[in-house]
Structure 1
Amino acid sequence: MSNIAVVYFSGYGHTKVVAETFAGEIQATLIEINQDGEINEQDWQALNSASGIVFGAPTYMGGVPWQFKKFADASSKIWFTHGWKDKVFAGFTNSASLNGDKQVTLISLQTLAAQHGGIWVSLGLLPANTKAATRNDINSLGGSVGLLVQSPSDAGVDEIPAGDLETTKLYAKRVQSIVDKFSA
């Protein structure tokens, strides 16, 4: 098992699939923020002991949902003591639209990591931006700050584009590699 924790909120199940795919690729600890925006004490301990923390949230109305924001605000107790300083951080978001202002959500996740004194891992993959590119290609949404995923509003959780899930797996491996370098 890796020393990475994936903490996420999912409103409709799509972001949960992305979180599970990410965590499953590297055997990371999976922590779900509940519908009340909370995690339990054992989850806080898992985050505190992890070498890497990955934030995951859907993009709602150009930002994270209130449940994730409540979790982020609750982390201020840890911020005050520098409890997550120098940890490796990464993040992902999912929305129904191809753009959907996902970049704003990633920037808020990156800012949260920076406030904690963390080290952010970018996606590190070239975009699939040719005429021949399809939604099944790696990084078809052209992300760089973190992982972008698109799930159409009428798509079931089993219909996330294969390219987005493959990009998820590659990002998980990159994050694990960076954590390993810092842990060496």
Structure 2
Amino acid sequence: MLISVVYDSGYGHTARVARAVAEGAGEVVGADVKLIAVADGEMDWDTLEKSDAIIFGSPTYNGMISARFKQFFEDSTRRAWFDLKWRNKIAAGFTNSGAQHGDKLNSLVSMALFAAQHGMIWVGLDMMPGNSSSTGSESDLNRHGSWLGVMTQSNNDQSADITPMRSDLETACYLGKRVSLTASRFVGSRYTHNQSNKDS
């Protein structure tokens, strides 16, 4: 089972989240996880085509995904979309911004819509919102209260060694594991289906 985490990161904060997502995805037995940074140059389209799940990650700048990540989306039109090469792959997303909110939802909506256009199956965050009561705190998982994907926040004046905070990274790790578990069900179902066709 191959899980790819495709991300952009301007200052290292989103890259740190991507590593947490990959760590969680790798906790599932049988998962091979690939971290792919769009800034590294030519995209590994073959790996993406072979992936059972693709998790998208971008910083949120001015309420939108980064320019590099948008370019990756546009390039996929020529490489994958016309033949729907990513149809029925599992998809999910995460984003980071300097502000607590920063209109991060718009970035996740962009990713989910992109996945829908490719015929992918979107996996959200099945976690109640944290830090939403008098007994809550910033240490709660899903402290930003997102269901569509993972939202994390990094203080603008701190390096990626310090921020985002631990609860955000643990939430990202949780999403990675959830995607892997979901993909494993689809992979297992596909194997059973293929085997039954051979036996008939």
TM-score, normalised via structure 2 length: 0.87
Mapped partners of 1:137, 1:104: distance in 2: 23
Aligned residues: 179
Distance in 2 (CA, whole Å) between partners of 1:176 and 1:87 is 12
The structural deviation recorded for 1:26 is: 2.4
**What amino acid sits opposite 2:34 in the alignment?**
T
- For the aligned residue pairs, the C-alpha RMSD in angstroms reads 1.1
Provide the C-alpha distance between the structure 2 equivalents of 1:85 and 1:9, rounded to a whole number of angstroms: 23
Distance 1:13 1:39 in 2: 20
Does the aligned pair in 1 maintain the 2:24–2:175 contact within 8 Å? no
Alignment match, 1:158: 161
- 2:37 counterpart residue number: 32
3-state DSSP of counterpart to 1:81:
coil
Query: Aligned residues: percent identity?
Result: 39
- Paired letter, 1:34: A
Give 5+ residue unaligned stretches, structure 1: none
1:139-171, Cα deviation, whole Å (9 max, x unpaired): 111010000001111121122111101111111
Distance in 2 separating the partners of 1:170 and 1:45: 27
Tell me how far apart the structure 2 counterparts of residues 182 and 161 of structure 1 sit (CA, whole Å): 33
Partners of 2:42 and 2:108 lie apart in 1 by 21
Equivalent in the alignment of 1:66: 67
Name the counterpart of 1:57. Answer: 58
| Counterpart secondary structure, 2:61 | coil
Q: Distance in 2 between matches of 1:39 and 1:84?
A: 18
Please say if residues 60 and 104 of structure 2, whose CA atoms lie closer than 8 Å, have aligned partners that are also in contact.
Answer: yes
Of structures 1 and 2, the larger Rg is shown by 2
Which amino acid is 1:29 matched to? K
Unaligned runs of 5+ in 2: 27-32, 189-200
Is 1:140–2:143 an aligned residue pair? yes
Which secondary structure does the structure 2 equivalent of 1:30 belong to?
A: strand
Are 1:149 and 2:160 counterparts? no
Whether the 8 Å contact between 1:58 and 1:94 is mirrored in structure 2 is yes
Please say if 1:174 is aligned against 2:178. Answer: yes
**More relative contact order, 1 or 2 (CA 8 Å, 6+ apart):** 2
Residue 126 of structure 1 aligns to a residue whose secondary structure is coil
Runs of 4+ in 1 over 6 A off after TM superposition: none
Residues 25 and 178, structure 2, Cα contact 8 Å, conserved in 1 = no
